[in-house]
């Protein structure tokens, strides 16, 4: 699994929007207010919706089936299995976990014979798929709260990578990072 934040923006705009509620023009003061409000739910941290991230994630299909739970505040674009599976033979690096050589041989035989439906039907859930995710800090906070104790190791890895790469770490629940 690989997680890479490609771009993060909207911080200044989010702080400006927050300042409108307070009728304050001092952005330095508003940064302090933002730090205090970021961890309060119930609409107090809605400014976090204005800080946008684009994240490239290469993860196994079984992880994506869980990530697909998140539909609000998330847009996704992905490699199409239909367009990528048949382009080349596959190997061990195309999967999250090691597979039996017979599985890879079977898939490659189907690919060589242009048997797309059969290849897709036999494709293991550990097959890696790359997606570009566009989300925001508020949604990301929710994902972190919901998945930090999940059984799948990929969720812990995802959360750790997000913490390492985000610009505004103070807006995420830091107590969770300490538990991972």
- Domain range enclosing 103: 80-127
Distance set, CA 123 to CA 67, 81, 133, 152, 175 (Å): 19, 10, 23, 20, 38
Instruction: Say if residue 56 is in the same domain as residue 138.
Output: yes
Q: Are 53 and 5 in contact (CB under 8 A)?
A: yes
- pLDDT value at position 159? 96
- pLDDT value at position 94? 94
Q: What total number of domains does the chain contain?
A: 2
Smallest Cα–Cα separation from 7: which of 53, 66, 39?
A: 53
Instruction: Say if residue 87 is in the same domain as residue 137.
Output: no
The answer to whether position 7 is within a domain reads yes
- pLDDT value at position 41? 86
Instruction: Say if residue 142 is in the same domain as residue 96.
Output: no
- pLDDT value at position 90? 94
The answer to whether position 180 is within a domain reads no
What span, in angstroms and rounded, lies between the C-alpha atoms of 64 and 67?
5
The answer to whether position 34 is within a domain reads yes
Instruction: Say if residue 152 is in the same domain as residue 103.
Output: no
Instruction: Say if residue 138 is in the same domain as residue 171.
Output: yes
Written as six digits, the tokens of 111 are: 């690919």
One digit per residue, pLDDT tens: the chain, 180 residues?
Answer: 999 999 999 999 999 999 998 988 898 999 999 999 999 988 899 999 999 999 999 999 999 999 999 988 899 999 888 778 899 999 999 999 989 999 999 999 999 999 999 999 999 999 999 999 999 999 999 999 999 999 999 999 999 999 999 999 999 998 887 777
């Amino acid at each position: 699994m690989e997680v890479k934040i490609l771009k993060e923006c909207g911080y200044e705009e989010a702080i400006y929007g927050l300042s409108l509620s307070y009728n304050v023009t001092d952005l330095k003061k508003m940064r302090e207010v933002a730090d205090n409000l970021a961890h309060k739910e119930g609409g107090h941290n809605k400014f976090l919706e204005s800080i946008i991230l684009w994240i490239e994630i290469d993860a196994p299909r079984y992880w994506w089936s869980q990530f697909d739970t998140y539909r609000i505040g998330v847009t996704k674009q992905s490699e199409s299995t239909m367009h990528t599976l048949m382009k080349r033979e596959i190997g061990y690096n195309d999967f999250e976990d090691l597979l039996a050589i017979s599985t890879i041989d079977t898939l490659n035989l189907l690919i060589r014979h242009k048997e797309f439906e059969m290849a897709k039907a036999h494709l293991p859930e550990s097959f890696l798929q790359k997606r570009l995710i566009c989300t925001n800090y508020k949604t990301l906070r929710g994902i972190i709260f919901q998945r930090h104790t999940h059984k799948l190791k990929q969720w812990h890895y995802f959360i750790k990578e997000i913490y390492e790469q985000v610009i505004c770490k103070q807006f995420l629940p830091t107590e969770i990072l300490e538990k991972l």
